[in-house]
Amino acid sequence: MDQNLETKNEYLLKKEERKEIAKIEKRKRTMKSLVWWLAALAILVLFSWWIYDYFKTASTQDPTPGQYFEAQSRDHIAIGKNHPVYNSNPPTGGWHYDQPAQTGIYDTELLDEQLVHNLEHSHIWIAYRPDLSAEDVEMLANIAKDYGSKIVMTKRPANDSQIALTAWEHLLKMDNVDEALIRNFIDAYRGIAGPEKLPDFGFDDFRKNK
């Protein structure tokens, strides 16, 4: 009788132990599952935030400034030699002379064919009509000076707008100085647009009455 009781007690004890072990295993599985779900949720939140930030940034970025004109050529031509008509005014690429202009600010007109070579070197050309107000000219000059290298500023009577900013294959026209838009154009293309990223030696203000 006592032996049967002992056997029964031992059975009940083992049964309780099995229950306790089962509870512990269940808690472990629950914790493991919870950790996996939390990790998955964190990854989902991070991915959702990345998607949101990507599209938010893309929606707030300024569009690429100016018009695009495919360069017609990169050929060097002799000074004074005829060539097909450029596909933009001012030109943004195409046939050009062998020697580019020194970068800087001019109160004279330089030849388109010379300045196209500057554009090929990833420079920015600021061309303005001679009747642009002195105040606007000085505003343009100050912007050019802020950047210095890789900027050429000249008069250009052939402009069909008061101000034209050109880079290789890109053109932006305006009739009044919009400093933010000008800087946006320069930042987008200076040293970037143009197949030749060559060093720029010597920027200066070459105006006679500066």
Which CATH code is given to the segment(s) 67-205? Answer: 3.40.30
The model's pLDDT over 141-158, given as tens digits with 9 standing for 90+, comes to 999 999 999 999 999 999
pLDDT of residue 26: 73
Tokens (6 digits) for 144: 């050019």
Q: Which residues of the chain have pLDDT under 50?
A: 1, 52-62
What is the rounded distance in angstroms from the CA atom of residue 144 to the CA atom of residue 146?
A: 5
Give 124's strand partners: 151
Question: Residue 85 burial (CB < 10 Å; 0-12/13-18/19+)?
Answer: exposed
Q: State percent of the chain over pLDDT 90.
A: 65
The model's pLDDT over 4-48, given as tens digits with 9 standing for 90+, comes to 555 655 655 566 667 777 677 777 777 777 767 776 666 765 665
pLDDT of residue 30: 72
E-strand spans in 130-169? 151-155, 163-167
* 77, 123 contact by CB (below 8 A): no
pLDDT of residue 56: 39
Domains of the chain, residue spans: 1-61, 67-205
Q: Is 166 helix (H, G, I), strand (E, B) or coil?
A: strand
